[in-house]
Amino acid sequence: MLKVFKYSFLDLMRNRWTLGYFLFFAFSTFGLLYLSGDSSKVVISTMNIIILLVPLVSLIYGQMYLYQVRDYVEILLAQPISRQAIFGGYYLALASALSISLLLGLCIPILIVQPEGFVANGWLSLLAISAILTFVFIGIACNLVLRFDNRLKGFGVGLFVWLFLAIIYDGLILVVMLLFENYPLENASLILTLLNPIDAGRVLLIFQLDYSALMGFTGAVFAKFFGTLVGSVVLTFGFGMWLFIPLMQLMRKAKRKDF
């Protein structure tokens, strides 16, 4: 797996899109820091960009690269290595290359402009959540590429997955809240939030930054939950499942598929 990873990572790091991804985050973070001058405000603005953009770019870029890999994967399949090693290597390479260019794009400006703000104000949480979201959505992209031979269908489903998790899901939660407003929904909304990695990331960051007061009583329940050990364990478990299930499904599919 590490051999495939090594060469694929090299291939990806030379790709112009990877460089473009790095430059986008570097310039936008730099611009925001320059304009506001307060790293805690920049965290929230950057979070809003990341929460929407990282899943989308990971899905689409991951699919673009892997559909291209599909064209020459026969050469690798003809070698004496397992399919799990091949696709595991590509998954790792894609997720690492995107995470590295994203993390560098976020870290370099803050280290230059406000190095003291780096450890405070939830920057580290922002970096961790960006990397986790990249791994989760690259895992989903790998699954979609193996599931759909038709590229258009694959990209269509990919965009729908993003649209659903980033936008529609929140709308559905809102509908549920309105329909059952006479009932105590704090725990239900907590569970529903944790079932979506984008929401879980967003809420976790909001609470790291002490903006929970804006959410009223629900915010208090959320804040209490995230402050406990059980909260941390459940949150880690939730993200773990989002990383683990797509990866397992990828390995299963890779083993059985006809190429």
Partner 1 sequence: MIEFQNIQKKFGKQQVLKSIDLKLEEPAIYAILGPNGSGKTTLIKSLMGMVKINEGKISFNGKTLAGDDYRKQISYLPQIARFPENLSANEFFSLIENLRGPAQRKQEAIKWFGVEEFLDKTLRNLSGGMRQKINLVSCLMYDSPIVVLDEPSIGLDPVAMIALKKWILEERAKGKHILLCSHLMDLVQELADEVIFLMNGVVHFKGNIQKLLEETGAHNLESAIAQFLISKKPSHAQSI
Query: Which residue ranges make up the site for partner 1 (CB under 8 A)?
Result: 3-4, 6-8, 10-12, 14-15, 68-69, 71-72, 74-82, 256, 258-259
77/179 with CB nearer partner 1: 77
DSSP letters along 173-186, please? Answer: HHHHHHHTTTS--H
Q: How far apart are alpha carbons 60 and 158 in whole angstroms?
A: 7
Of the pair 82, 187, the CB lying nearest partner 1 is at: 82
Question: Which is nearer to partner 1, 108 or 251 (by Cβ)?
Answer: 251
Q: How far is the CB of 203 from partner 1 (least distance, A)?
A: 38
User: Nearer Cβ to partner 1, position 142 or 204?
Assistant: 142
| CB 68 to partner 1: min, Å | 7
In the complex, minimum distance from the CB of residue 23 to partner 1, in angstroms, rounded to a whole number: 17
| Residue 89: CB minimum distance to partner 1, A | 10
Which residues touch 13 (CB under 8 Å, ≥6 apart)? 97, 100
CB of 90 to partner 1, least distance (A): 10
CB closer to partner 1 out of 40 and 84: 84
Shortest Cβ distance from residue 91 to partner 1 (Å)? Answer: 16
Q: CB-wise, 7 or 160, nearer to partner 1?
A: 7
